[in-house]
Amino acid sequence: MLAEYAAISNHPDKVKFAFIGNVILVFVNIGLVFAGRFYRENHPLDEMTADILEEKRAEEKHEDSKRNRTKYIIVYAVVGAFFFSILLGYHLGIANVSSDLRGGSDHGQTMHSNGISHSDVNTVLVQQGFETANIPTTYWFYDENKLTNVCAGVKEDTKFEFYEYMDGETTDGVYNSIVYDITQDMEFDQRVEHETKLPDGNKMFTVIIDSVYHLVMYQGDTVVYAYSSKSLDEINDILARIGYLRG
């Protein structure tokens, strides 16, 4: 059972099939019991063998006292309850894992695998002197159906945009779309030269186009797009403050 739990825990969507399999095994065992009884009724033992077995059963019943029977009943009940609790906990545990993978829980704000939310970013931008009220984002339309929150701030010629998505699979595509949009005149090999691969499969792209510094980056289920006509220093400072860049 522990081996079955370890295998199915990696695929919580298969819990229904595992439960059905366990139920089928129960019915198979019941069927074997009835099949054995049916066989014995249609293939009776000869009279001598039957008498010997009957005498043996009588001796065993005589030796088995009432105290022992009570003890056996208690032991079997405890063992049965133990295995039933394991089975129940197993299925409830798998169901909880499946629920967490599909949606998770909501505690007031959207938190991500990297621990960064749009409210955190907004706080940092305000502290850095950025205007964040009613600031539009440039690429809100990329996978809009999976976009959950956005945050943007402007300070002189510097703009910082933060996007939250439903899952980490979406961010890779959004990142590539933004990179392509700001570098349409570049060849693929040229783009690769400006790209940096980060831990956990994340990426960062930096380029200077027409004297403007551009940065595109994704981490977990969030994407950052920022640009400045001065340098990337202030943008990097914001990234460090929100936890995107770690020393």
* Buried residues in 173-199 as b, exposed as e (16+ CB within 10 A): ebbbebbeebbeebeeeeeeebeeeee
User: Could you tell me the pLDDT band of residue 183, with boundaries at 50, 70 and 90?
Assistant: very high
Query: Tokens at residue 179, please?
Result: 């990179």
Q: Model confidence over 201-220: pLDDT tens digits? A: 889 999 999 999 999 999 88
- Please give the Cα distance from 131 to 138 (Å, whole number): 16
Q: Which of 20-24, 35-39, 65-69 has the lowest mean pLDDT?
A: 65-69
Q: Model confidence over 112-159: pLDDT tens digits? A: 445 678 888 999 999 999 999 989 999 999 988 999 999 999 999 999
Name the one residue in this structure whose structure tokens are 């229904």: 16
Q: Which amino acid is at 2?
A: L
3-state SS assignment for residue 150:
strand
User: Could you tell me the pLDDT band of residue 102, with boundaries at 50, 70 and 90?
Assistant: very low
Three-class SS of 173-221: HHHHHHHHHHCCCCCHHHHHHCEEECHHHCEEEEEEECCEEEEEEEECC
Domains and their CATH numbers in the chain: 2-102 (no CATH), 118-242 (3.40.1000)
Query: How large is the average pLDDT for residues 79-98?
Result: 56
> pTM of the predicted model, to two decimals?
0.54
